[in-house]
Chain A
Protein backbone atom coordinates (compact mmCIF):
# COMPACT_ATOMS: atom_id res chain seq x y z
CA UNK A 1 0.00 0.00 0.00
CA UNK A 2 1.44 3.34 -0.96
CA UNK A 3 2.19 5.93 1.70
CA UNK A 4 -0.36 8.33 0.22
CA UNK A 5 -3.05 5.67 0.39
CA UNK A 6 -2.12 4.90 3.97
CA UNK A 7 -2.18 8.53 5.09
CA UNK A 8 -5.42 9.17 3.23
CA UNK A 9 -7.14 6.15 4.74
CA UNK A 10 -5.94 7.05 8.24
CA UNK A 11 -7.05 10.62 7.78
CA UNK A 12 -10.45 9.50 6.57
CA UNK A 13 -11.17 6.94 9.26
CA UNK A 14 -9.48 9.00 11.95
CA UNK A 15 -11.95 11.86 11.60
CA UNK A 16 -15.31 11.86 13.26
CA UNK A 17 -16.87 12.96 10.00
CA UNK A 18 -16.46 9.37 8.86
CA UNK A 19 -19.30 8.34 11.19
CA UNK A 20 -21.62 10.40 8.98
CA UNK A 21 -21.26 7.67 6.38
CA UNK A 22 -23.00 5.03 8.43
CA UNK A 23 -26.61 6.20 8.98
CA UNK A 24 -27.63 6.54 5.31
CA UNK A 25 -26.73 3.02 4.17
CA UNK A 26 -28.30 1.68 7.38
CA UNK A 27 -31.57 3.50 6.64
CA UNK A 28 -31.55 2.06 3.12
CA UNK A 29 -30.93 -1.42 4.46
CA UNK A 30 -33.51 -1.05 7.22
CA UNK A 31 -36.23 0.15 4.86
CA UNK A 32 -35.62 -2.70 2.41
CA UNK A 33 -35.72 -5.31 5.20
CA UNK A 34 -38.83 -3.71 6.71
CA UNK A 35 -40.75 -3.63 3.41
CA UNK A 36 -39.81 -7.18 2.61
CA UNK A 37 -40.77 -8.52 6.02
CA UNK A 38 -44.10 -6.67 5.93
CA UNK A 39 -44.81 -8.26 2.55
CA UNK A 40 -45.15 -5.01 0.62
CA UNK A 41 -45.20 -5.50 -3.18
CA UNK A 42 -41.64 -4.84 -4.55
CA UNK A 43 -43.22 -2.89 -7.42
CA UNK A 44 -44.40 -0.40 -4.79
CA UNK A 45 -41.33 -0.03 -2.57
CA UNK A 46 -38.64 -0.87 -5.15
CA UNK A 47 -38.46 2.42 -7.06
CA UNK A 48 -38.61 4.80 -4.08
CA UNK A 49 -36.16 2.82 -1.95
CA UNK A 50 -33.70 1.61 -4.60
CA UNK A 51 -33.70 4.69 -6.81
CA UNK A 52 -35.26 7.48 -4.76
CA UNK A 53 -33.16 6.75 -1.68
CA UNK A 54 -30.33 4.45 -2.75
CA UNK A 55 -29.15 5.88 -6.06
CA UNK A 56 -30.42 9.45 -5.73
CA UNK A 57 -29.38 10.14 -2.14
CA UNK A 58 -27.18 7.55 -0.45
CA UNK A 59 -24.71 7.07 -3.32
CA UNK A 60 -24.06 10.75 -4.14
CA UNK A 61 -24.05 11.93 -0.53
CA UNK A 62 -21.65 9.23 0.64
CA UNK A 63 -19.43 9.92 -2.38
CA UNK A 64 -19.65 13.64 -1.57
CA UNK A 65 -18.56 13.19 2.04
CA UNK A 66 -15.68 10.90 1.11
CA UNK A 67 -14.70 12.50 -2.19
CA UNK A 68 -14.40 16.01 -0.79
CA UNK A 69 -12.70 14.63 2.32
CA UNK A 70 -9.73 12.74 0.90
CA UNK A 71 -7.99 15.89 -0.31
CA UNK A 72 -10.30 18.70 0.77
CA UNK A 73 -9.83 18.01 4.48
CA UNK A 74 -6.04 18.19 4.08
CA UNK A 75 -6.34 21.42 2.14
CA UNK A 76 -8.57 22.85 4.86
CA UNK A 77 -6.22 22.08 7.73
CA UNK A 78 -3.03 22.72 5.76
CA UNK A 79 -1.52 19.24 6.06
CA UNK A 80 -1.61 18.95 2.27
CA UNK A 81 1.67 20.90 2.27
CA UNK A 82 3.46 17.85 3.70
CA UNK A 83 2.43 15.78 0.71
CA UNK A 84 3.02 18.49 -1.84
CA UNK A 85 6.59 19.25 -0.73
CA UNK A 86 7.65 15.87 -2.06
CA UNK A 87 9.19 15.21 -5.47
CA UNK A 88 6.16 13.22 -6.60
CA UNK A 89 4.46 13.72 -9.96
CA UNK A 90 1.05 15.02 -9.00
CA UNK A 91 -0.83 12.09 -10.53
CA UNK A 92 0.82 9.89 -7.91
CA UNK A 93 -1.01 11.94 -5.31
CA UNK A 94 -4.39 12.21 -7.04
CA UNK A 95 -4.77 8.60 -8.16
CA UNK A 96 -4.26 6.93 -4.75
CA UNK A 97 -6.62 9.44 -3.19
CA UNK A 98 -9.22 8.80 -5.88
CA UNK A 99 -8.79 5.07 -5.36
CA UNK A 100 -9.41 5.42 -1.62
CA UNK A 101 -12.43 7.67 -2.17
CA UNK A 102 -14.02 5.49 -4.85
CA UNK A 103 -13.21 2.30 -2.93
CA UNK A 104 -14.66 3.47 0.37
CA UNK A 105 -17.78 4.97 -1.25
CA UNK A 106 -18.35 1.89 -3.39
CA UNK A 107 -18.01 -0.46 -0.45
CA UNK A 108 -20.29 1.65 1.74
CA UNK A 109 -23.04 1.94 -0.87
CA UNK A 110 -22.77 -1.23 -2.94
CA UNK A 111 -23.31 -3.57 -0.02
CA UNK A 112 -26.70 -2.24 1.17
CA UNK A 113 -27.80 -1.78 -2.44
CA UNK A 114 -26.94 -5.40 -3.17
CA UNK A 115 -28.99 -6.61 -0.22
CA UNK A 116 -31.88 -4.30 -1.12
CA UNK A 117 -31.77 -5.50 -4.74
CA UNK A 118 -31.86 -9.13 -3.67
CA UNK A 119 -34.81 -8.45 -1.35
CA UNK A 120 -36.66 -6.54 -4.08
CA UNK A 121 -36.22 -8.95 -6.94
CA UNK A 122 -33.20 -11.17 -7.46
CA UNK A 123 -29.52 -11.74 -6.85
CA UNK A 124 -28.96 -10.53 -10.40
CA UNK A 125 -30.58 -7.17 -9.67
CA UNK A 126 -28.59 -6.93 -6.45
CA UNK A 127 -25.33 -7.53 -8.30
CA UNK A 128 -26.31 -5.13 -11.10
CA UNK A 129 -27.08 -2.38 -8.59
CA UNK A 130 -23.82 -3.03 -6.74
CA UNK A 131 -21.71 -2.91 -9.89
CA UNK A 132 -23.47 0.16 -11.29
CA UNK A 133 -23.17 1.90 -7.91
CA UNK A 134 -19.45 1.13 -7.80
CA UNK A 135 -19.00 2.68 -11.25
CA UNK A 136 -21.09 5.63 -10.15
CA UNK A 137 -18.97 5.95 -7.00
CA UNK A 138 -15.88 6.28 -9.21
CA UNK A 139 -17.45 9.00 -11.36
CA UNK A 140 -18.83 10.91 -8.36
CA UNK A 141 -15.50 10.63 -6.51
CA UNK A 142 -13.58 12.02 -9.49
CA UNK A 143 -16.06 14.89 -9.71
CA UNK A 144 -15.99 15.74 -6.00
CA UNK A 145 -12.20 15.32 -5.71
CA UNK A 146 -11.72 17.78 -8.57
CA UNK A 147 -14.29 20.06 -6.97
CA UNK A 148 -12.27 20.20 -3.76
CA UNK A 149 -9.36 21.60 -5.79
CA UNK A 150 -11.39 24.02 -7.86
CA UNK A 151 -13.35 25.70 -5.09
CA UNK A 152 -12.99 26.44 -1.40
CA UNK A 153 -16.56 25.20 -0.83
CA UNK A 154 -16.63 21.79 -2.45
CA UNK A 155 -19.31 20.33 -0.17
CA UNK A 156 -21.73 23.16 -0.87
CA UNK A 157 -21.17 23.03 -4.62
CA UNK A 158 -21.41 19.25 -4.60
CA UNK A 159 -24.71 19.42 -2.73
CA UNK A 160 -26.02 21.91 -5.26
CA UNK A 161 -25.12 19.52 -8.06
CA UNK A 162 -26.67 16.50 -6.35
CA UNK A 163 -29.82 18.13 -4.99
CA UNK A 164 -30.61 20.88 -7.50
CA UNK A 165 -29.20 19.59 -10.77
CA UNK A 166 -29.74 15.86 -10.42
CA UNK A 167 -32.63 15.91 -7.97
CA UNK A 168 -34.74 18.88 -8.94
CA UNK A 169 -33.95 19.98 -12.50
CA UNK A 170 -33.95 16.38 -13.72
CA UNK A 171 -37.68 16.23 -12.98
CA UNK A 172 -38.55 19.32 -15.01
CA UNK A 173 -35.94 19.67 -17.71
CA UNK A 174 -35.31 16.23 -19.16
CA UNK A 175 -32.22 17.44 -21.05
CA UNK A 176 -30.28 17.81 -17.80
CA UNK A 177 -30.46 14.05 -17.35
CA UNK A 178 -27.77 13.61 -20.00
CA UNK A 179 -25.39 15.29 -17.56
CA UNK A 180 -26.47 13.35 -14.50
CA UNK A 181 -24.32 10.60 -13.03
CA UNK A 182 -27.38 9.26 -11.25
CA UNK A 183 -29.06 8.56 -14.62
CA UNK A 184 -25.94 6.79 -15.90
CA UNK A 185 -25.97 4.51 -12.87
CA UNK A 186 -29.67 3.67 -13.40
CA UNK A 187 -29.11 2.95 -17.10
CA UNK A 188 -26.11 0.75 -16.38
CA UNK A 189 -27.91 -1.19 -13.64
CA UNK A 190 -30.91 -1.71 -15.92
CA UNK A 191 -28.62 -2.97 -18.68
CA UNK A 192 -26.98 -5.51 -16.36
CA UNK A 193 -30.31 -6.75 -14.98
CA UNK A 194 -33.31 -5.58 -17.03
CA UNK A 195 -36.12 -4.91 -14.59
CA UNK A 196 -39.36 -2.98 -14.41
CA UNK A 197 -38.24 -1.37 -11.17
CA UNK A 198 -35.78 0.96 -12.87
CA UNK A 199 -36.89 3.69 -15.22
CA UNK A 200 -34.09 4.70 -17.58
CA UNK A 201 -33.84 7.99 -19.38
CA UNK A 202 -30.46 7.82 -21.08
CA UNK A 203 -29.22 5.14 -23.46
CA UNK A 204 -26.65 2.60 -22.33
CA UNK A 205 -23.90 3.78 -24.76
CA UNK A 206 -24.37 7.38 -23.59
CA UNK A 207 -24.27 6.25 -19.97
CA UNK A 208 -21.09 4.18 -20.42
CA UNK A 209 -19.24 6.80 -22.42
CA UNK A 210 -20.28 9.63 -20.12
CA UNK A 211 -19.32 7.71 -16.96
CA UNK A 212 -15.87 7.09 -18.40
CA UNK A 213 -15.58 10.68 -19.58
CA UNK A 214 -16.57 12.11 -16.21
CA UNK A 215 -14.19 9.81 -14.34
CA UNK A 216 -11.20 10.49 -16.58
CA UNK A 217 -11.93 14.14 -17.31
CA UNK A 218 -12.29 15.25 -13.70
CA UNK A 219 -9.26 13.18 -12.67
CA UNK A 220 -7.15 14.94 -15.29
CA UNK A 221 -8.54 18.27 -14.13
CA UNK A 222 -7.69 17.43 -10.52
CA UNK A 223 -4.11 16.49 -11.44
CA UNK A 224 -3.66 19.71 -13.36
CA UNK A 225 -5.12 21.84 -10.58
CA UNK A 226 -2.92 20.15 -7.98
CA UNK A 227 0.12 20.94 -10.14
CA UNK A 228 -0.62 24.65 -9.77
CA UNK A 229 -1.83 24.40 -6.18
CA UNK A 230 -1.40 27.76 -4.47
CA UNK A 231 -1.32 28.23 -0.74
CA UNK A 232 -3.64 31.10 -0.01
CA UNK A 233 -1.73 34.11 1.26
CA UNK A 234 -2.61 34.20 4.91
CA UNK A 235 -2.35 37.60 6.47
CA UNK A 236 -0.67 36.80 9.71
Chain B
Protein backbone atom coordinates (compact mmCIF):
# COMPACT_ATOMS: atom_id res chain seq x y z
CA UNK B 1 0.00 0.00 0.00
CA UNK B 2 1.58 3.21 -1.10
CA UNK B 3 0.42 6.78 -1.10
CA UNK B 4 1.49 9.38 -3.60
CA UNK B 5 1.17 12.84 -2.09
CA UNK B 6 1.28 16.21 -3.77
CA UNK B 7 1.47 19.29 -1.59
CA UNK B 8 0.99 22.71 -3.13
CA UNK B 9 2.59 21.63 -6.39
CA UNK B 10 3.08 24.23 -9.11
CA UNK B 11 5.11 24.16 -12.26
CA UNK B 12 5.73 27.02 -14.60
CA UNK B 13 7.67 27.45 -17.81
CA UNK B 14 8.79 31.06 -17.98
CA UNK B 15 5.57 33.05 -17.79
CA UNK B 16 3.32 30.10 -18.46
CA UNK B 17 1.87 28.31 -15.46
CA UNK B 18 1.26 24.70 -16.47
CA UNK B 19 0.28 23.38 -13.05
CA UNK B 20 -1.12 25.70 -10.42
CA UNK B 21 -1.01 24.84 -6.70
CA UNK B 22 -2.31 21.28 -6.74
CA UNK B 23 -2.57 19.17 -3.62
CA UNK B 24 -3.84 15.62 -3.60
CA UNK B 25 -3.17 12.27 -2.04
CA UNK B 26 -3.57 9.15 -4.11
CA UNK B 27 -4.21 5.93 -2.26
CA UNK B 28 -4.98 2.38 -3.37
CA UNK B 29 -7.59 1.99 -6.10
CA UNK B 30 -8.11 3.46 -9.52
CA UNK B 31 -8.11 7.22 -9.95
CA UNK B 32 -8.81 9.01 -13.19
CA UNK B 33 -7.09 12.29 -13.95
CA UNK B 34 -9.45 14.12 -16.26
CA UNK B 35 -9.07 17.31 -18.17
CA UNK B 36 -9.12 18.85 -21.62
CA UNK B 37 -5.99 18.96 -23.73
CA UNK B 38 -3.44 21.40 -22.40
CA UNK B 39 -4.81 21.31 -18.85
CA UNK B 40 -1.46 20.24 -17.44
CA UNK B 41 -2.19 16.55 -16.92
CA UNK B 42 1.04 15.37 -18.51
CA UNK B 43 3.11 17.93 -16.63
CA UNK B 44 1.52 16.76 -13.38
CA UNK B 45 2.15 13.11 -14.23
CA UNK B 46 5.75 13.84 -15.09
CA UNK B 47 6.24 15.50 -11.72
CA UNK B 48 4.63 12.52 -9.99
CA UNK B 49 6.95 10.18 -11.88
CA UNK B 50 10.09 12.15 -11.05
CA UNK B 51 10.69 13.41 -14.58
CA UNK B 52 10.19 17.06 -13.76
CA UNK B 53 11.03 19.15 -10.73
CA UNK B 54 8.08 21.04 -9.25
CA UNK B 55 8.70 24.79 -9.37
CA UNK B 56 7.05 24.91 -5.97
CA UNK B 57 5.64 22.27 -3.62
CA UNK B 58 6.58 18.67 -3.06
CA UNK B 59 5.74 15.33 -4.62
CA UNK B 60 6.40 12.36 -2.37
CA UNK B 61 5.83 8.64 -2.54
CA UNK B 62 5.48 7.42 1.04
CA UNK B 63 7.54 10.42 2.22
CA UNK B 64 10.32 9.93 -0.34
CA UNK B 65 10.62 12.67 -2.96
CA UNK B 66 10.22 11.40 -6.52
CA UNK B 67 12.56 14.00 -8.04
CA UNK B 68 16.22 12.96 -8.33
CA UNK B 69 15.49 9.74 -6.52
CA UNK B 70 15.71 6.68 -8.81
CA UNK B 71 14.94 4.39 -5.86
CA UNK B 72 11.24 5.27 -6.08
CA UNK B 73 11.04 3.25 -9.29
CA UNK B 74 11.12 0.09 -7.19
CA UNK B 75 7.57 0.99 -6.16
CA UNK B 76 6.47 3.08 -9.13
CA UNK B 77 5.75 2.27 -12.75
CA UNK B 78 5.12 4.75 -15.55
CA UNK B 79 3.49 4.34 -18.94
CA UNK B 80 4.22 7.59 -20.72
CA UNK B 81 2.04 9.03 -23.44
CA UNK B 82 4.71 9.06 -26.09
CA UNK B 83 4.47 5.84 -27.93
CA UNK B 84 8.19 5.21 -27.72
CA UNK B 85 9.43 1.66 -27.84
CA UNK B 86 12.53 0.10 -29.24
CA UNK B 87 10.84 -1.26 -32.35
CA UNK B 88 13.71 -3.59 -33.09
CA UNK B 89 12.99 -5.66 -29.96
CA UNK B 90 10.30 -8.29 -29.57
CA UNK B 91 7.78 -7.69 -26.80
CA UNK B 92 9.33 -10.47 -24.76
CA UNK B 93 12.85 -9.04 -25.13
CA UNK B 94 11.52 -5.60 -24.27
CA UNK B 95 9.75 -6.71 -21.10
CA UNK B 96 12.64 -8.99 -20.17
CA UNK B 97 15.08 -6.09 -20.49
CA UNK B 98 12.88 -4.13 -18.10
CA UNK B 99 12.85 -7.01 -15.64
CA UNK B 100 16.63 -7.28 -15.80
CA UNK B 101 17.10 -3.56 -15.28
CA UNK B 102 14.95 -3.89 -12.17
CA UNK B 103 17.35 -6.62 -10.98
CA UNK B 104 14.47 -8.98 -10.38
CA UNK B 105 15.49 -12.39 -9.01
CA UNK B 106 13.81 -14.27 -11.86
CA UNK B 107 13.49 -11.86 -14.80
CA UNK B 108 12.24 -14.47 -17.29
CA UNK B 109 9.33 -15.52 -15.06
CA UNK B 110 8.47 -11.92 -14.27
CA UNK B 111 8.47 -11.02 -17.97
CA UNK B 112 6.18 -13.94 -18.83
CA UNK B 113 3.81 -13.04 -15.97
CA UNK B 114 3.60 -9.41 -17.13
CA UNK B 115 2.99 -10.43 -20.74
CA UNK B 116 0.26 -12.84 -19.58
CA UNK B 117 -1.34 -10.03 -17.64
CA UNK B 118 -1.77 -7.86 -20.74
CA UNK B 119 -2.64 -10.90 -22.93
CA UNK B 120 0.16 -10.51 -25.40
CA UNK B 121 1.52 -14.08 -25.31
CA UNK B 122 0.56 -14.90 -28.87
CA UNK B 123 2.55 -11.97 -30.27
CA UNK B 124 5.40 -11.83 -27.79
CA UNK B 125 8.05 -13.06 -30.22
CA UNK B 126 7.26 -10.57 -32.94
CA UNK B 127 9.16 -7.31 -33.26
CA UNK B 128 7.27 -4.45 -31.59
CA UNK B 129 7.74 -2.46 -34.79
CA UNK B 130 5.12 -4.69 -36.43
CA UNK B 131 2.50 -4.11 -33.69
CA UNK B 132 -0.70 -2.11 -33.83
CA UNK B 133 -0.99 0.91 -31.58
CA UNK B 134 -3.03 -0.92 -28.97
CA UNK B 135 -0.63 -3.86 -28.84
CA UNK B 136 2.31 -1.51 -28.48
CA UNK B 137 0.53 0.17 -25.60
CA UNK B 138 0.00 -3.18 -23.93
CA UNK B 139 3.67 -4.07 -24.36
CA UNK B 140 4.55 -0.82 -22.64
CA UNK B 141 2.12 -1.54 -19.82
CA UNK B 142 3.67 -4.99 -19.41
CA UNK B 143 7.13 -3.44 -19.13
CA UNK B 144 5.88 -0.96 -16.54
CA UNK B 145 4.21 -3.76 -14.55
CA UNK B 146 7.04 -6.24 -14.64
CA UNK B 147 8.28 -5.42 -11.13
CA UNK B 148 4.73 -5.41 -9.71
CA UNK B 149 4.84 -1.77 -8.60
CA UNK B 150 2.69 -0.39 -5.81
CA UNK B 151 1.94 2.69 -7.88
CA UNK B 152 1.26 2.74 -11.61
CA UNK B 153 0.92 5.98 -13.54
CA UNK B 154 -0.50 5.90 -17.06
CA UNK B 155 -0.64 8.90 -19.36
CA UNK B 156 -3.55 8.59 -21.82
CA UNK B 157 -3.40 4.78 -21.81
CA UNK B 158 -6.53 4.34 -23.93
CA UNK B 159 -5.37 6.37 -26.89
CA UNK B 160 -5.54 4.37 -30.07
CA UNK B 161 -7.21 1.37 -28.49
CA UNK B 162 -10.30 -0.23 -29.92
CA UNK B 163 -13.31 -0.65 -27.57
CA UNK B 164 -12.47 -4.25 -26.75
CA UNK B 165 -8.88 -3.46 -25.89
CA UNK B 166 -10.09 -0.45 -23.90
CA UNK B 167 -12.44 -2.61 -21.89
CA UNK B 168 -9.72 -5.13 -21.25
CA UNK B 169 -7.29 -2.45 -20.12
CA UNK B 170 -9.98 -1.02 -17.85
CA UNK B 171 -10.51 -4.44 -16.30
CA UNK B 172 -6.77 -4.85 -15.84
CA UNK B 173 -6.50 -1.49 -14.07
CA UNK B 174 -9.42 -2.42 -11.82
CA UNK B 175 -7.92 -5.78 -10.98
CA UNK B 176 -4.73 -4.04 -9.97
CA UNK B 177 -6.64 -1.38 -8.04
CA UNK B 178 -8.68 -3.98 -6.18
CA UNK B 179 -5.46 -5.75 -5.27
CA UNK B 180 -4.37 -2.67 -3.34
CA UNK B 181 -2.29 -0.95 -6.01
CA UNK B 182 -2.48 2.79 -6.52
CA UNK B 183 -3.41 3.38 -10.14
CA UNK B 184 -3.66 6.78 -11.78
CA UNK B 185 -4.51 7.24 -15.42
CA UNK B 186 -5.09 10.44 -17.34
CA UNK B 187 -7.64 11.00 -20.05
CA UNK B 188 -9.26 13.83 -21.95
CA UNK B 189 -12.24 11.71 -23.01
CA UNK B 190 -15.10 11.58 -20.53
CA UNK B 191 -16.55 8.40 -21.97
CA UNK B 192 -13.35 6.55 -21.17
CA UNK B 193 -13.78 7.31 -17.51
CA UNK B 194 -17.40 6.24 -17.55
CA UNK B 195 -16.54 2.63 -16.90
CA UNK B 196 -14.38 3.58 -13.96
CA UNK B 197 -15.72 3.47 -10.49
CA UNK B 198 -13.81 5.22 -7.81
CA UNK B 199 -12.44 8.70 -7.72
CA UNK B 200 -11.59 11.23 -10.36
CA UNK B 201 -9.51 14.38 -10.27
CA UNK B 202 -10.55 16.96 -12.82
CA UNK B 203 -7.93 19.39 -14.02
CA UNK B 204 -8.70 22.54 -15.99
CA UNK B 205 -6.12 25.13 -17.00
CA UNK B 206 -3.53 23.89 -14.54
CA UNK B 207 -5.84 23.86 -11.54
CA UNK B 208 -7.64 21.06 -9.76
CA UNK B 209 -11.26 21.85 -10.68
CA UNK B 210 -13.06 18.98 -9.06
CA UNK B 211 -12.09 15.98 -7.09
CA UNK B 212 -13.99 13.13 -5.58
CA UNK B 213 -16.40 10.34 -6.33
CA UNK B 214 -16.90 9.81 -10.02
CA UNK B 215 -20.68 9.41 -9.85
CA UNK B 216 -21.16 12.73 -8.06
CA UNK B 217 -19.07 14.55 -10.61
CA UNK B 218 -20.75 12.73 -13.44
CA UNK B 219 -24.14 13.88 -12.13
CA UNK B 220 -22.87 17.44 -12.01
CA UNK B 221 -21.86 17.03 -15.61
CA UNK B 222 -25.15 15.56 -16.80
CA UNK B 223 -27.37 17.97 -14.85
CA UNK B 224 -25.91 21.11 -16.31
CA UNK B 225 -28.07 23.05 -18.82
CA UNK B 226 -27.70 21.61 -22.28
CA UNK B 227 -28.06 23.51 -25.51
CA UNK B 228 -29.46 21.88 -28.63
CA UNK B 229 -29.83 23.14 -32.17
CA UNK B 230 -33.12 21.87 -33.62
CA UNK B 231 -34.50 22.20 -37.14
CA UNK B 232 -37.93 21.01 -38.16
CA UNK B 233 -40.70 21.46 -40.69
CA UNK B 234 -42.42 24.04 -38.46
CA UNK B 235 -39.97 25.68 -36.06
CA UNK B 236 -42.46 28.17 -34.59
CA UNK B 237 -45.07 25.56 -33.72
CA UNK B 238 -42.42 23.35 -32.20
CA UNK B 239 -41.13 26.25 -30.12
CA UNK B 240 -44.59 26.86 -28.71
CA UNK B 241 -44.99 23.21 -27.77
CA UNK B 242 -41.50 22.92 -26.31
CA UNK B 243 -41.75 25.89 -23.97
CA UNK B 244 -44.60 24.12 -22.19
CA UNK B 245 -42.24 21.26 -21.38
CA UNK B 246 -40.77 21.23 -17.83
CA UNK B 247 -37.30 20.16 -18.89
CA UNK B 248 -37.01 23.08 -21.31
CA UNK B 249 -35.75 26.32 -19.80
CA UNK B 250 -35.60 28.47 -22.91
CA UNK B 251 -36.22 28.50 -26.66
CA UNK B 252 -34.83 30.90 -29.21
CA UNK B 253 -36.21 31.21 -32.68
CA UNK B 254 -34.02 32.35 -35.51
CA UNK B 255 -34.03 31.92 -39.30
CA UNK B 256 -31.75 28.87 -39.19
CA UNK B 257 -33.83 27.00 -36.62
CA UNK B 258 -34.37 26.67 -32.90
CA UNK B 259 -31.89 26.93 -30.07
CA UNK B 260 -33.28 25.01 -27.12
CA UNK B 261 -31.90 25.14 -23.58
CA UNK B 262 -32.78 22.11 -21.49
CA UNK B 263 -32.14 21.58 -17.80
CA UNK B 264 -32.29 17.82 -17.98
CA UNK B 265 -30.59 16.03 -20.84
CA UNK B 266 -32.51 12.76 -20.53
CA UNK B 267 -35.98 14.25 -19.99
CA UNK B 268 -35.63 16.61 -22.95
CA UNK B 269 -34.39 14.03 -25.41
CA UNK B 270 -37.24 11.73 -24.42
CA UNK B 271 -39.82 14.53 -24.63
CA UNK B 272 -38.87 15.92 -28.03
CA UNK B 273 -39.97 13.00 -30.23
CA UNK B 274 -43.23 12.66 -28.28
CA UNK B 275 -44.06 16.38 -28.75
CA UNK B 276 -43.08 16.40 -32.40
CA UNK B 277 -45.19 13.34 -33.08
CA UNK B 278 -48.30 14.71 -31.36
CA UNK B 279 -48.05 18.04 -33.26
CA UNK B 280 -47.33 16.38 -36.59
CA UNK B 281 -44.00 18.16 -36.93
CA UNK B 282 -41.05 16.44 -38.53
CA UNK B 283 -37.70 17.05 -36.79
CA UNK B 284 -34.96 17.39 -39.38
CA UNK B 285 -32.01 17.94 -37.09
CA UNK B 286 -31.14 17.64 -33.41
CA UNK B 287 -27.59 18.58 -32.47
CA UNK B 288 -26.29 19.05 -28.96
CA UNK B 289 -24.28 22.21 -29.51
CA UNK B 290 -22.14 22.39 -26.40
CA UNK B 291 -20.96 18.84 -26.01
CA UNK B 292 -17.34 19.79 -26.48
CA UNK B 293 -15.22 18.76 -23.53
CA UNK B 294 -14.03 22.26 -22.92
CA UNK B 295 -17.59 23.41 -22.27
CA UNK B 296 -18.22 20.50 -19.92
CA UNK B 297 -15.05 21.21 -18.03
CA UNK B 298 -15.57 24.94 -17.91
CA UNK B 299 -19.05 24.34 -16.56
CA UNK B 300 -17.51 22.26 -13.81
CA UNK B 301 -15.09 25.02 -12.95
CA UNK B 302 -17.93 27.54 -12.62
CA UNK B 303 -20.08 25.16 -10.58
Contact = CB atoms under 8 A, between A and B. Distances in A.
Interface of A: 3-4, 6-7, 10-11, 14, 77-79, 81-90, 227-231, 233-236
B86 A10 contact: yes
A30 to B, nearest CB: 31
A228 B53 contact: yes
Interface string B25-38: 00000000000011
B200 interface: no
A14 B70 contact: no
Contacts of B100: 3
Contacts of A229: 51
A228 B144 CA distance: 21
A10, A11, A89, A231, most chain B CB atoms within 10 A: A231
B81 interface: yes
Contacts of B18: 233
Contact of A81 (B71, B74, B80, B97): B80
A86 B89 contact: no
A40 to B, nearest CB: 44
Given A78-B80, A234-B81, A85 B86 contact: no
Contacts of A78: 80, 82, 84
Contacts of B11: 233
Given A3-B100, A81-B78, A88 B70 contact: yes
B42 A234 contact: yes
A8 B98 CA distance: 14
B59 to A, nearest CB: 13
Given A10-B89, A79-B86, A87 B71 contact: yes
Contact of B97 (A3, A77, A230): A3
A88 B101 contact: yes
Contact of A230 (B37, B42, B53, B85): B53
A79 B43 contact: no
B261 interface: no
B49 interface: yes
A86 B88 contact: no
B101 A236 contact: no
B52 A231 contact: yes
Shortest Cβ-Cβ A-B pairs, 5 listed? A78-B84, A78-B82, A86-B101, A231-B51, A14-B88
Task: Name A's interface SS.
Answer: loop
Contact of A77 (B13, B49, B84): B84
A1 B291 CA distance: 55
Contacts of B38: 235
Interface in B78-125: 78, 80-82, 84-86, 88-89, 97-98, 100-103
Contact of B51 (A7, A10, A14, A84): A84
B133 to A, nearest CB: 15
Contacts of A6: 97
A180 B29 CA distance: 57
Nearest to B11: A233
B181 interface: no
A3, A78, A82, most chain B CB atoms within 10 A: A82
A82 B99 CA distance: 11
A83 B70 CA distance: 11
Contacts of B77: 85
B131 interface: no
B97 A85 contact: no
Interface in B38-65: 38, 42-43, 46, 49, 51-53
B42 A82 contact: no
Contacts of A90: 70
A83 B102 CA distance: 10
A7 B78 CA distance: 19
B37, B71, B82, most chain A CB atoms within 10 A: B82
Given A3-B100, A86-B102, A81 B51 contact: yes
A138 B88 CA distance: 28
A230 B52 contact: yes
Given A83-B101, A233-B46, 14 more contacts: A3-B97, A11-B88, A78-B80, A81-B82, A82-B97, A85-B49, A86-B102, A87-B72, A87-B102, A87-B103, A227-B68, A230-B51, A233-B11, A233-B13
B73 interface: yes
B143 interface: yes
Contacts of B49: 85
A6 B93 CA distance: 11
Given A231-B46, A233-B13, A233-B43, A86 B84 contact: no
A86 B73 contact: yes
Given A228-B53, A233-B42, A234-B82, A82 B98 contact: yes
A144 B89 CA distance: 26
